Chain A
């Protein structure tokens, strides 16, 4: 089976649960007292997708403002970007919109954007209505999903959706981590953010 390397970066405000989502996806583990990420953390996980294996090269970036200027290094050359917000913090949704704008202006042209509303388990103190977020995601043709890293809800699904959006590879380039760029004719079903 062919292995494709897909570079994915996670963006979003500090404390929304980017590392928790990655930790749940890669290690199926949740840590209540997780420390804020410093710089960016690099992890990998391989999952089957159709007749291919997708090896996710995940850049889990720090949400803190002081690391903001490093973000281009991580989303440059990414096949997909997951922008995470906290459904209990309206501010984090505003930050998400800034990230969308930045990706539109400076990100790769064919990047797949996924919006993840995390902390879905805290529905009773929700500040961001699901409808609003969903409509926003549709308006930019992004994947939308609400997740809970704590309860392992929709984390796998998030990455599966990304996998499906990545156009299938026609030639057998497998060793480059930029292989997705070689696909010149994305499937018609691909929705782009811009």
Chain B
């Protein structure tokens, strides 16, 4: 393999010198130097292409072969304008990304060009100045670079010292990664549907969903190079499209999150998922301490602090893929007779102690009831995302089943910089399905809060609540009584009282033909597709009637609700409309059972000023989160 001519060596220096140093240390600098000066044709774009290919060659097995056929486009500003037929028209999934078949695109965000959002697809696609000039050249360059990266990853230094990137990765190798020893060179690794990577701004690996972070340090270095390069032009890289994959970037403070997906989800959906990953990290460390750590030491290895928490992130990503709560940004609560839910809430309301702010009862990983401190509920509400993170924390760890847990936890949407102290205990050992979660702002309150649990436990035994909860379960779509309806998801917007309430949704069990994991995933993918059309930033829709291969879907959003329904394939449009009318009537009738209608509250603080909004941060533990001591 040879280094191509016209390699933009001067552009390499733009990558914050990362790759350049790399090359020189490998003794390759001479070869790069003999290159002709870079052509005048938009070198930044060219370099982007090169860098992307470097990434692509590792991530996508097909890239090298398709070198000649590849077209490249750099897009700034406007969103991709998906061709959308009229909402009522029948559609084919196949034309979701009509422009992606041949082009690899880089979308970058340019503050000056944001008004381009409405340009038509032809316009936004044509800024491909670099496209024809050096395709094969950059391709060859990429192959060479890739070969080096691979050698590095296999631990074979080419010459002299290994790259700074690699060094950073291997020095920090600890034993705790043993459970993720997947071979990152294997095809099976490439074929994962959705990869998620987290790295620091210095390019240090923090988390990879599959494979060990060390083995991927070169790949992550390339990702960081891409991010920094685009950043050096006062732009922010947002996504890269290829035939089968989409790469989505999210920068949050000193962290860079990257998703490489072949799931056909929209860029916005994938970015929302990355945001959940970010929030889960924040929930463990707080935003303030992450910023502080990286302010003090840019190349800090954050895995030191996340050690042992990979399972929580793994669990979150599995949940994001399989649970529509994340897609809808709403909480699913277990259907329960409203009288039982009320009596449970009253039980929680009675067992209080100063500084207790949330009492949450969970069964089968779904919400039973949630009671909030009075002043808290007036000031702010618990966001669905925070509840999702809590549910994931409980679901992802079997460690809670043994005893009573006391742990600091941050609710990023409530306040990203402070810790709550969470008391977590199962009420029905050894089955461990009913879980009590009490959140306090007082670090030392364990024994007081544990006392609340005993009161709750006693009251529940007296009322025989546990056996009643055990009987509660999700419902079957057949209860609705509409023959062609197979499944639905309903998220109401109307709120029955004055409180800003937790956003909820209801959905029946997935039954045949969606009982296998694959079929469940297929239905969820259809819902995700409908969701992306409804919430498209360029052309949002109110109503979609979509005839898919094996079912027909109808999605409808109004000011009162958002509804996704799945019918058998033979349903007619008129039938579907009638069915939805019936469904809405049924939900109205059942809403007291399906939703938490009147969120109860309590007042725990004898001194009202202590929990007022102004002193919210005083009340929480801002000072003693201890990470300074690590620096």
> A residues near B, CB below 8 A?
14-15, 19, 22-23, 26-27, 31, 33-43, 58, 60, 62-70, 73, 89
Contacts and interface: CB of A to CB of B under 8 A. Distances in A.
A26 B429 CA distance: 14
10 contacts: A14-B176, A15-B175, A15-B176, A34-B399, A36-B397, A38-B405, A39-B408, A41-B405, A65-B305, A69-B629
Contacts of A69: 624-627, 629
B529 interface: no
B395 to A, nearest CB: 11
Contacts of A31: 398
Contacts, number: 96
Interface in B358-416: 393, 396-400, 402-408
A70 B446 contact: no
B399 A36 contact: yes
B418 to A, nearest CB: 15
Interface residues of B, number: 35
A60 B402 CA distance: 10
Given A14-B308, A43-B403, A35 B397 contact: yes
Contacts of A15: 175-176, 308
Contacts of A89: 175
A64 B399 contact: no
Interface string B86-106: 000000000000000000000
Contacts of A33: 398
Contacts of B156: none
B480 to A, nearest CB: 39
Closest 5 A/B residue pairs (Cβ): A39-B407, A69-B626, A36-B308, A43-B403, A35-B399
A122 B336 CA distance: 50
Contacts of A68: 626, 629-630
B307 A27 contact: no
B408 A27 contact: no
B300 to A, nearest CB: 12
Contacts of B175: 15, 89
Interface in B139-177: 175-176
A63 B398 CA distance: 16
A2 B501 CA distance: 51
Contacts of B446: 42
Interface in B462-513: none
Contacts of A41: 399-400, 402-406
A62 B305 CA distance: 12
Nearest to A15: B176
B629 A19 contact: no
A22 B401 CA distance: 13
Nearest to A40: B406
B309 interface: yes
Nearest to A69: B626
A121 to B, nearest CB: 18
B176 A43 contact: no
Contacts of B350: none
A27 B176 CA distance: 26
B443 interface: yes
Contacts of A64: 305, 307-309
Nearest to B450: A42
B394 to A, nearest CB: 10
A70 B624 CA distance: 9
Given A42-B446, A70-B408, A37 B399 contact: yes
B285 interface: yes
Given A40-B406, A64-B305, 5 more contacts: A34-B398, A38-B400, A42-B404, A63-B308, A70-B408
A36 B402 contact: no
B296 interface: no
Contacts of A19: 399, 402
B285 A40 contact: no
B284 interface: yes
B403 A42 contact: yes
Interface string B607-630: 000000000000000001111011
A36 B309 contact: yes
B306 interface: yes
B307 A65 contact: yes
Contacts of B422: 39
B117 to A, nearest CB: 41
A34 B400 CA distance: 10
Nearest to B397: A35
Contacts of B443: 70, 73
B398 A39 contact: no
- Scoring B309, B399, B407, B422 by chain A CB atoms within 10 A of each residue's CB, the highest score goes to B399
B405 A39 contact: yes
A23 B402 contact: yes
A65 B402 contact: no
Nearest to B430: A27
B405 A65 contact: no
B311 interface: yes
Contacts of B308: 14-15, 36, 62-64
B399 A66 contact: no
B444 interface: yes
B304 interface: yes
A150 to B, nearest CB: 16
A34 B629 CA distance: 29
Contacts of A39: 405-408, 422
A138 B156 CA distance: 46
A26 B176 CA distance: 26
A38 B403 contact: no
B305 A43 contact: no
A30 to B, nearest CB: 12
B294 to A, nearest CB: 15
A58 B406 CA distance: 13
Nearest to A57: B447
A38 B405 CA distance: 7
Nearest to B306: A66
